[in-house]
Amino acid sequence: MLDIGTGTGALALAAARAGAASVAAVDLSLRSIVATWLNCRIRGVRCRVYRGDLFEPVAGRRFDLIVANPPYVPAATNGLCRHRISRCWDGGVDGRAVLDRLCAGARELLSPQGMMLIVHSAVCDDSVTLRRLAEAGLPAKVLARSTVPFGPVMRLRAAMLESRGLIEPGQHDEELVVIAARASAGGRGAH
């Protein structure tokens, strides 16, 4: 199992507790890597923790399950800050800067019967995620949808999102989606 953009390691910990044979976690942030490492040690969970950009630290490996909750909040620019806390949520102007890279690169890391689960806001257009995954050879579908109140970052950016037509006037909640993409042993994605 691979947790991309692990943050505090919550998904890596959950996978280990659910019985994953091996768990790896990747994040660009040194703080996130330290937090994940500490959380795993405190809870007695074995997890290989890597610092780096998306798939780079685990290139050449294959995983049965990849999970990701990438930065997806639309930002003022496409310039993604590498050394600020905002890198945890900034997804470029349309929120897709990291999502699109995730869709394009996952196929190479999935085992023949592997699956990837991605969580992001519908503000980023889940139909685009489904299309990009299919283009990468990973047909996908939405597994779940849930409407939640805006968190602090979305609240702060609501006026900007509204001016771009990404949310309705006065909107105070967002729909989160969980998307599943599967590989197949034949080298072509299938469900």
Average pLDDT over residues 93-119: 91
Residue 31 vs residues 15, 71, 97: alpha-carbon distances, Å: 21, 16, 22
pTM of the predicted model as reported, rounded to 2 decimal places: 0.87
pLDDT in tens, 159-173: 988 998 889 999 999
Do the Cβ atoms of 116 and 68 come closer than 8 Å?
yes
Q: What are the tens digits of pLDDT across the range 130-149?
A: 999 999 999 999 999 999 99
Question: How many percent of the chain have pLDDT more than 70?
Answer: 88
**Number of domains the chain contains:** 1
- Does any domain span residue 54? yes
What contacts 31, CB < 8 A, 6 or more positions away?
none
Q: Is residue 188 assigned to a domain?
A: no
> Does residue 73 lie within any of the structural domains?
yes
pLDDT band at residue 109, thresholds of 50, 70 and 90? very high
Is 85 a member of any domain? yes
In a domain, 52, yes or no: yes
pLDDT for position 43: 94
Say whether pLDDT at 191 is over 50.
no
CATH of the domain at 20: 3.40.50.150
Contact present, 3 and 11 (Cβ < 8 Å) = yes
List, for residues 31-64, the tens digit of each pLDDT value: 899 999 999 999 999 999 999 999 999 999 999 9
**pLDDT band at residue 82 using 50, 70 and 90 as cut-offs:** low
Closest CA to 101 of 126, 79, 71, 65: 71
Determine contact, residues 120/143, Cβ cutoff 8 Å: no
Q: Give the CA radius of gyration of the chain.
A: 16
